[in-house]
Every structure is written in structure tokens, then in C-alpha cells.
Amino acid sequence: MNIVVVGAQWGDEGKGKVIDVLSEDADILIRFQGGHNAGHTVVADGEEFIFHLIPSGLLHKGKVGLIGNGVVIDPEALLEEMGRLASRGVDVQRCVKISDQAHVIFPYHKRLDLVEEATRPGRLGTTGRGIGPCYVDKSARSGIRMADLCNRETFAEKLRQNVIEKNRWLKALYNEPPCSYEELLERYSGYAKRLAPHVVNGTRFLRAAMQQGKRLLFEGAQGTLLDVDHGTYPYVTSSSATAGGACTGAGIPPTRIDRVIGIVKAYTTRVGEGPFPTEFPSALMDVIRAKGKEFGATTGRPRRCGWFDAVIARHAVWVNGCDSIAVTKLDVLDEMETIQVCVGYHDPSASKAAGGAGGTGAIDEFPSDTSVLARCQPVYESLPGWRQDTSEVGRFEELPEAAKRYLKRLEVLLGVSICLISTGSKREQAFKVGSIGSAA
């Protein structure tokens, strides 16, 4: 069984936690896009671990993790993460594999990311990790891949060309000082030596694993609404964070994916700029941010929080082809008296333009034009809260009735069943469910 797990909102849905739980039943864990802009948290045996580039299931013994070709790798960040994992007793020498086709992030990518953010008319709120500029080079066909990095001659030549080009940009567009070719060549050659033993032909590696009957678990980073095509463009990341990205970003055929699981929080969050129709007013924002500890796992930035938005989640269920969803952070809503769910939007300009000629401005589909989403007002349905602690609940049947009603309503609104519920950050605070009822 090969399973793809993706975020079905704007990232930070709890992918790390869910992947850790699902990893028990998998052999090979694969990241297929994004880079160290991701921060996936696992809390195991009372200790927190944040994964950035390495698949989140590796705290389990005997698993192997592949960083796929669709990922962009900052070698310094990766080596640091490997070091931290090793100090937790994980045999990183054995279990971390890296695709030779993955692209490499250099300091000039990071510098370009930062100066572009500082000078573009509308900020995107990127993580400043050089992710976008590295994917630009990949698409422009000037990028440097892991295979190049590990080949001294190819690397020296490709780096020379890149440094000449990037120094031109930095000077002409931003009046920034140049990067040193010699310094980069030396530093990155050192990284290459340390990473080379982990580098494999990713496609071949996964094909062999499948032929041996190994179970694969693909871990999306970011989320559907941050996908470069299907998200709230341009307020997105630069990769394909949807399920299709698992095929291109790992080199496996679409026909070999058996299941897709989307992850949603019981409410919604987003970091960075861009439209967010259900964003809370500030008083409620403070309450949920504190209770849900909604601060970025990578940058520490406070996350924007809002009610569950069924319109965006339904869009995510469709574009990913989700067979089921996992709902996390239900416990964060434990104290709410009333819970709102956004079931549609109202577009005030559309109803005005229609002038009463039949157009009401009612929208129930995700608008692909981000400027429409930006002016949409949420239409809410109110449900009673449960005002009970759910953090110790171990079975669906033990949940308070109002919590069950809330989850069943989400199933109906999304047209998909829930397969897992999480009520706390710890590994034990999650339980699998079959279909819990009402979805078709």
C-alpha cells in the first residue's frame, strides 16, 4: 500500500504528527517537494523534534527516508538536521537517502529571496530560505543538482557560471555585494563529501523498493492552498504541494498510488501574506493562537488563525483526490461555546454588479482568481461547542456528542470520511477511525 499525505489548508496542519503515527505501517518515507521552509513537528517520548527536510517518520526504528528529486536542499540545513537526529540515536548514515536529481540551495538563493521580498511591491511573507529562487533556477535549467554537487568538475563549472550570473543580478538589480566563487566552491565541496554516501538514483531506489513489496508513505510539505498552481497565487510557495507532486517529485507512476490522505486542522491557520476569509478578529485570534501554540515551527512567526473553511478544504479534497482526511487539533476548540464553520462565501461586488438581476454573490467553490477570494466574506454555520477536555480521548465513541456532530458535519461538507483524529501534540494523542458516518 502506497499512501500520499498532503496538507489540505495553508500548511502546518499537523503533517509531522500524522506522518509519525502512520509511519508505523510503512517502510520507506519520502519527501517530494519543498525544502527547509517546512517545519514538521513530532512529539515522541516527551521530546519534541522538528523535521525540515528529512521525512518525519524516522524516529521509528528500521525506516528509511528518501528526500526526493522534487525537494530543494540546503546542504548546511540538512547536515545540521542529520546531526540532531543522530544525537537522538537515529542511525542517519543508514536511513537517510537523497535523490541525485534534487536541486541544491546556495547562499545567493537566500540573498535573492530576501532582497526580492524587501523590494517587491506586495510582500509574500516568504520564509527567506531561498526556496523560490532555487526553483526559479530549476525551471530556468541553470540549477545545480545533487549529482552535479558530487562531481567535482561539473560542480566547479556550473557553480562558476551561476556565481557570475547571480553576482550580475545582485549588483545590477539590488546594488548588493557579490558572492565569492572560491568560498562557495570550498564550502560546498565539503558538504558534497559528507552527503555523497547518501545520494542515490531516487527513481530506481523507489522502483526496487516497490518490487520488494515495501510500503511507501509520501509526506507533503506546505499545503494545497500554498501549491504553486492550486493555491492562492501569488501568495504560495514555489512547488507542487498537492498529491500529483508526489509522482513528479519522487519519480513514481500515478498508477502506483493507492491512497491519498488530506490533513486539516479543526480550524484554519496561515503564515505569511495573502487572503484568508475566515481569519479571526484579534481577541479570538489571541485565544486560539495561545491554546494551539500557533507559532511557526520554522521561523517562529505568529500564525494567523481562523475558523474552519469548508470551501478551501473541499477544493483541496478534489485536487488531491483525497480518499479520507485526518483532523488534527480538535482539542484546541475544547473551550469554545460556539464553533463557526465557513460553508460558502459572499462576494459583495458580484451582488452589486448583478444589480438584483439574479446574481446574489453567493460562492460555494474556491475562486481561482485570488483577487475574488480577497474580497469574499465568509458565510458561517454555527455549531455548539462541547466545552469538555478531549485530549485523553482514545476512541471516536468517547468524544463528546457536540464534537462528534462537528466532525460529522465536516465529513458532509467535504464529502469525504475522516480516518484519523488528533487531540494533542503527543504521539499517543491520536486515534484511527473508520468512516465515522455520514459521508457518501
CB of 208 to ligand IMO, least distance (A): 28
Q: Do 349 and 281 touch, CB atoms closer than 8 A? A: no
Touching ligand GDP, residues 285-304 (CB under 6 A): 292-293, 297
Q: Do 32 and 19 touch, CB atoms closer than 8 A? A: no
Touching Mg ion, residues 17-56 (CB under 5 A): 39
Segment near ligand GDP (CB under 6 A); pick from 35-43, 138-146, 209-217, 311-319: 35-43
Burial of 40 (0-12, 13-18, 19+ CB in 10 A): buried
- Rounded CA-CA distance 205/215 in Å is 13
Q: Which listed residue (40, 230, 314, 315) binds ligand IMO by CB under 6 A?
A: 40
Interaction between residue 219 and Mg ion (CB under 5 A): no
DSSP string, 46-95: TEEEEESSS-TTTTSTT-EEEE-TTBEE-HHHHHHHHHHHHHTT--HHHH
Task: Give how many residues touch ligand IMO by CB under 6 A.
Answer: 23
Touching ligand IMO, residues 42-81 (CB under 6 A): none
CB of 43 to ligand GDP, least distance (A): 5
Interaction between residue 425 and ligand IMO (CB under 6 A): no
Interaction between residue 427 and ligand GDP (CB under 6 A): no
Q: Which three cell numbers stand for residue 385?
A: 461547542
Segment near ligand GDP (CB under 6 A); pick from 10-18, 87-95, 114-122, 278-286: 10-18
Q: Give, as one character, the DSSP assignment of residue 366.
A: -
CB of 274 to ligand IMO, least distance (A): 6
If you search the block for the grid coordinates 471516536, which residue do you land on? Answer: 396
Segment near ligand GDP (CB under 6 A); pick from 134-142, 172-180, 326-334, 382-390: 326-334
Interaction between residue 38 and ligand IMO (CB under 6 A): yes
Three-state secondary structure call for residue 360:
coil
Q: Which listed residue (107, 125, 302, 400) binds ligand IMO by CB under 6 A?
A: 125
Q: Which three cell numbers stand for residue 7?
A: 496538507
Interaction between residue 242 and ligand IMO (CB under 6 A): no
CB of 360 to ligand IMO, least distance (A): 32
What is the distance between the terminal CA atoms of the chain, rounded to a whole angstrom? 23
Q: Which listed residue (2, 9, 15, 312) binds ligand GDP by CB under 6 A?
A: 15
Nearest residue relative to ligand GDP (C-beta): 41
Biggest alpha carbon distance in the chain? 69
Residue placing its CB nearer to ligand IMO in the complex, 39 or 68: 39
423 binds, among ligand IMO, Mg ion, ligand GDP, none (CB under 5 to 8 A by kind): ligand GDP
Range 152-155, long-range pairs (CB < 8 A, 24+ positions): 152/189, 152/192, 155/185, 155/188, 155/189, 155/192
226 binds, among ligand GDP, ligand IMO, Mg ion, none (CB under 5 to 8 A by kind): ligand IMO
320 contact partners, CB below 8 Å, separation of at least 6: 4, 6, 8, 224, 242, 243, 260, 262
Q: Do 92 and 78 touch, CB atoms closer than 8 A? A: no
Contact letters for Mg ion, residues 274-313 (x by CB under 5 A): -----------------------x----------------
Q: Any catalytic annotation for residue 12?
A: yes
- Rounded CA-CA distance 301/377 in Å is 26
CA angle centred on 172, ends 169 and 178, rounded to 5°:
60
Closest-CA residue to 400 (of 386, 381, 416): 386
- Rounded CA-CA distance 417/303 in Å is 27
Touching ligand GDP, residues 40-59 (CB under 6 A): 40-41, 43
Q: Which listed residue (3, 6, 9, 12) binds Mg ion by CB under 5 A?
A: 12
Catalytic residue among 20, 36, 40, 109: 40
Residue placing its CB nearer to ligand IMO in the complex, 106 or 406: 106
| Interacting residues with ligand GDP (CB under 6 A) | 7, 11-17, 39-41, 43, 292-293, 297, 328-329, 331-332, 422-425
| Interacting residues with ligand IMO (CB under 6 A) | 7, 11-12, 37-40, 124-127, 129, 131-132, 221-223, 226, 237-238, 271-272, 297
